[in-house]
Amino acid sequence: MILSAQPDMEVVAEAKNGLEAVVEAEKTQPDVVIMDVNMEGLNGIEGTRRIGGISPRSRILALSMHRDAVYVREMLRAGAKGYLVKDADDDALLDAVRAVARGEAYLSPSVADAVLTDYRKHVTNPLDLLTAREREVLQLIAEGKTNKDIANQLKLSVYTVEAHRSRLMEKLNLHSTGDLVRFAIRNGIIS
C-alpha cells in the first residue's frame, strides 16, 4: 500500500515465501526487491543469492525484525544493497527503496552501530590493522628511506620510527625490511 501510493513506484509482484519471491523476480526483473529475511520454504538470505543470479540488475533491500549484526552481514554478503528494520516508519521505507534503486547502500540507523562493530571484528585485510601513521612509515620504508630519513620527514624521533617499524612487522607477521617492501608492493602502497 505504501509503495503503490507513490507516483515514482510500481509494485510489479508480491510473494508469500522465498521460493515464490525468486520465481517472481525472475519473471518480472524488478528494479528493487524488498526481501524479508525470515520466510518459509527459502529464507531471505538464500533467496537474495538466487535472485542475484537470475535477475542481476535487481537491487535487494532486506527487511527484517532482526537488529543482530549477523543477519545484516549475511544479507549484505548474499548481495542485498540495503537493510531496513521492520519497525521503521513509512518515510524510512520510502527512503530505503529510493536509495537502493539509485544504487546506494541503505542501513537502518538502529543497525549501523552493530554493523560497524561487527566489521571491525571481522577485518581480514592486514592493512586495516595499521594506523595511519604506520601506513605512512610503511610507505617510506618501502621507498627505501632510512629510519633517520623517516624521522626527519615525519618530525619524529628515530626511536619512534623504530617502534613503528617493530609494530608493523609484528602486526603483519613480517620479519625483514625486504618482507615489508614486498608487502607494500603487493598491497599497492608503492608501485
- Given a cut of 80, whether residue 191 has pLDDT beyond it is no
- Given a cut of 80, whether residue 123 has pLDDT beyond it is no
Q: How far apart are CA 108 and CA 80, in angstroms?
A: 13
Query: Looking at residue 97, what is its pLDDT?
Result: 98
Q: How far apart are CA 154 and CA 144, in angstroms?
A: 15
Domain range summary for the chain, segments of one domain joined by + = 18-121, 126-186
- Given a cut of 90, whether residue 126 has pLDDT beyond it is no
Q: What is the pTM of this model?
A: 0.65
Q: Which positions ≥6 away from 167 have C-beta within 8 Å? A: 134
- Given a cut of 80, whether residue 96 has pLDDT beyond it is yes
Calculate what percentage of the chain has a pLDDT beyond 90: 79
What mean pLDDT comes out for the span 143-157? 96
Query: Looking at residue 19, what is its pLDDT?
Result: 94
Three-class DSSP category at 60: strand
Does domain 18-121 correspond to CATH entry 3.40.50.970?
Answer: no
- Given a cut of 80, whether residue 157 has pLDDT beyond it is yes
Calculate what percentage of the chain has a pLDDT beyond 70: 99
Query: Looking at residue 149, what is its pLDDT?
Result: 97
pLDDT category at 180 given cuts 50, 70, 90 is very high
- What does the pLDDT look like over 21-34, one tens digit per residue? 999 999 999 999 99
Sort strands 59-64 and 106-107 into parallel, antiparallel or unpaired: unpaired
Task: Domain 126-186: give its CATH architecture.
Answer: Orthogonal Bundle (1.10)
Is the separation of the CB atoms in 180 and 138 below 8 Å?
yes
